[in-house]
């Protein structure tokens, strides 16, 4: 009996090995699973430092991420964006810029891992990166092996210099290469939504950019044209990006997220604008990749990015991207279904004046086909907690209340003031 089992085991092993050997080197391989159950959180060098990055800066950032509790709050990826590349060697293997990173990338990965952080890196599907360093075209498997050997945990893969390249093919090739290299690496696709990756990339990447690059600007600005009448490039605004990303909610979910670009919180908008930016990214279940100089930030910025209740909206295990129920003049009403029958609810004011808003729950009813969830305000009573103002007393949402609850509502009519470019955000939890 024992012998038979051993024989069968040996046969199965041999078959497995033969199978592995017969695999064509270009056969599709699945993306790494389990890396993106909730949207990724971390920090990236691009928005603040562009290509001016080096080992000392990155280590200082890492130290601060631990010291300020950012790692504990969930920001675990520390991502080098464009500007880390050195040259390729005679065999085509890529090297880090040893002037910027004198101890090498492997040592940096070890440093980060010892602090509970993960290392992210950046490359491009074309001949060059957007800042003109070497791209991965023709070197995909080599690059993936190098990253795996260094201990890289995350790859952002850009789309500059990709003339005549098929996007699905290019991103699938890198997915295969990352899988073949054997180290779980988060795959962040950065193709700016040009080829609608939400329609084809759920099994290719863990997230995909849905828009062009964000800037430190809250409201859309009118386009500018050069002397030849060509539209000049300008970064997108927070609210402009929200308009593009919101209708794509059906495509996001655990394992594959819409990415409306990295955060600009702390980079120069007002505190109100930063708060609204952060809120909407959480409502949209967006990756939360900080983009400011965290070694030097104001207490207000720190308070925004470490608000655990707000982060929990983004990281809710259901992974349902929120929806904008209504725009009404300068006001926008957003909802996001959360676990346990809860909802996140916010009102954004993009106007220049503060707005006094009477919350009329009967007119805010949500019937969300995507999640199958309804607010049912007429039947369900909710307790509302103000997430940006922890000291505010919770109130009950009540359309047709009975007895005690009704009395509370009458005593406490729900009128809120939303300052200019600001937001009020509540977590609604059903009560009996």
Active site amino acids: 158, 213
Q: How far is the CB of 40 from ligand GLA (least distance, A)?
A: 14
Q: Which residues contact 141 (CB under 8 A, 6 or more apart)?
A: 177, 180, 181
Residue in 267, 313, 268 with CA at minimum distance from that of residue 288: 313
Q: How far is the CB of 174 from ligand GLA (least distance, A)?
A: 15
Structure tokens that stand for 302 in this block: 């720190």
Pick the closer one to ligand GLA by CB: 211 or 396: 211
Interface with ligand GLA, residue 425, by CB under 6 A? no
Dihedral pair phi/psi, residue 230, rounded to 5°: -85, 140
Pick the closer one to ligand GLA by CB: 213 or 376: 213
> Cα-atom radius of gyration of the chain, to the nearest Å?
24
Q: How far is the CB of 209 from ligand GLA (least distance, A)?
A: 7
Q: How far is the CB of 409 from ligand GLA (least distance, A)?
A: 47
Site string for ligand GLA, 360-399 (x = CB under 6 A): ----------------------------------------
**HSE-up of residue 21 (Cα within 13 Å, Cβ side):** 6
Choose which of 46, 84, 101, 345 interacts with ligand GLA (CB under 6 A). 46
Measured at CB, which residue is nearest to ligand GLA?
Answer: 130
Site string for ligand GLA, 60-99 (x = CB under 6 A): ---------------------xx-----------------
From residue 106, alpha-carbon distances to 109, 141, 173, 235 in Å are 5, 18, 24, 34
Q: How far is the CB of 47 from ligand GLA (least distance, A)?
A: 8
- Whether the Cβ atoms of residue 5 and residue 221 lie closer than 8 Å to each other: no
Considering only the stretches 16-24, 54-62, 129-137, 263-271, report the one whose residues sit in contact with ligand GLA under the rule CB under 6 A: 129-137
Q: How far is the CB of 46 from ligand GLA (least distance, A)?
A: 5
Structure tokens that stand for 148 in this block: 């795996």
Pick the closer one to ligand GLA by CB: 110 or 213: 213
What is the three-class DSSP state of 102?
coil
Q: How far is the CB of 208 from ligand GLA (least distance, A)?
A: 12
Dihedral pair phi/psi, residue 304, rounded to 5°: -65, -50
Considering only the stretches 18-26, 124-132, 193-201, 341-349, report the one whose residues sit in contact with ligand GLA under the rule CB under 6 A: 124-132
The single-letter DSSP state of residue 394 is P
Residue in 322, 249, 256, 321 with CA at minimum distance from that of residue 36: 256
Interface with ligand GLA, residue 130, by CB under 6 A? yes
**HSE-up of residue 258 (Cα within 13 Å, Cβ side):** 30
Interface with ligand GLA, residue 264, by CB under 6 A? no
Pick the closer one to ligand GLA by CB: 60 or 213: 213
Interface with ligand GLA, residue 259, by CB under 6 A? no
Segment 187-246, which members bind ligand GLA (CB under 6 A)? 190, 213
Please, what is the Cα angle at 322 between 266 and 207, to 5 degrees?
70
Type and span of the H or E element at 218? none
Pick the closer one to ligand GLA by CB: 128 or 315: 128
Per DSSP, helices labelled H in 270-346 are: 271-283, 299-305, 308-314
Choose which of 29, 57, 107, 131 interacts with ligand GLA (CB under 6 A). 131
Interface with ligand GLA, residue 342, by CB under 6 A? no
Q: Report the relative pairing of strands 186-189 and 154-158 from DSSP bridges.
A: parallel
d(CA 372, CA 191): 31
Pick the closer one to ligand GLA by CB: 194 or 408: 194
Q: Which residue has the tokens 């024992």?
A: 2
Site string for ligand GLA, 278-307 (x = CB under 6 A): ------------------------------
- Whether the Cβ atoms of residue 304 and residue 279 lie closer than 8 Å to each other: no
The single-letter DSSP state of residue 233 is P
Q: Which residues bind ligand GLA (CB under 6 A)?
A: 46, 81-82, 129-131, 158, 190, 213
């Amino acid at each position: 009996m024992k012998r038979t089992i051993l024989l069968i085991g040996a046969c199965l092993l041999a078959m497995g090995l033969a199978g592995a050997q017969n695999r064509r080197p270009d056969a599709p391989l699945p993306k790494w699973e389990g890396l993106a159950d909730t949207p990724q959180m971390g920090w990236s060098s691009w928005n603040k430092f562009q290509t001016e990055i080096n080992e000392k800066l990155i280590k200082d950032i890492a130290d601060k991420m631990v010291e300020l509790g950012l790692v504990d709050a969930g920001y675990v990826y520390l991502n080098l964006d464009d500007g880390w590349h050195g040259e390729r060697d005679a065999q085509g293997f890529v090297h880090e810029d040893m002037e910027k990173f004198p101890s090498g990338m492997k040592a940096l990965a070890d440093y980060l891992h010892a602090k509970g952080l993960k290392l992210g890196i950046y490359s491009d599907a074309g001949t060059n990166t957007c800042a003109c360093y070497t791209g991965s075209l023709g070197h995909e498997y080599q690059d993936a092996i190098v990253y795996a050997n260094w201990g890289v945990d995350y790859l952002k893969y850009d789309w500059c210099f990709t003339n005549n390249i098929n996007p699905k093919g290019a991103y699938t090739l890198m997915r295969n290469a990352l899988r073949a290299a054997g180290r779980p690496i988060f795959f962040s696709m950065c193709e700016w939504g040009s080829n609608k990756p939400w329609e084809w990339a759920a099994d290719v990447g863990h997230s995909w950019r849905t828009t062009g690059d964000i800037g430190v600007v809250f409201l859309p600005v009118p386009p500018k044209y050069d002397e030849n009448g060509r539209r000049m490039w300008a970064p997108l605004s927070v609210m402009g990006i929200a308009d593009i990303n919101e209708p794509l909610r059906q495509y996001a979910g655990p394992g594959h997220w819409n990415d409306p670009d990295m955060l600009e919180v702390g980079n120069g908008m007002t505190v109100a604008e930063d708060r609204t930016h952060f809120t909407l990214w959480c409502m949209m279940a967006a990756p939360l990749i900080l983009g400011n100089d965290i070694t030097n930030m104001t207490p207000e910025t720190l308070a925004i990015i470490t608000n655990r209740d707000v982060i929990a909206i983004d990281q809710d295990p259901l992974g349902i991207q929120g929806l904008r129920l209504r725009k009404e003049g300068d006001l926008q009403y957003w909802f996001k279904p959360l676990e346990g029958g809860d909802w996140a609810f916010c009102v954004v004011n993009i106007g220049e004046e503060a707005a006094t808003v009477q919350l009329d729950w009967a007119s805010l009813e949500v019937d969300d086909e995507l999640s199958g969830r309804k607010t049912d305000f007429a039947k369900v009573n909710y307790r509302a907690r103000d997430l940006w103002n922890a000291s505010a007393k919770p109130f009950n949402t009540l359309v047709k209340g009975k007895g005690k609850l009704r009395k509370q509502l009458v005593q406490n009519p729900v009128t809120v003031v939303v300052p200019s470019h600001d937001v009020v955000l509540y977590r609604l939890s059903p009560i009996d």
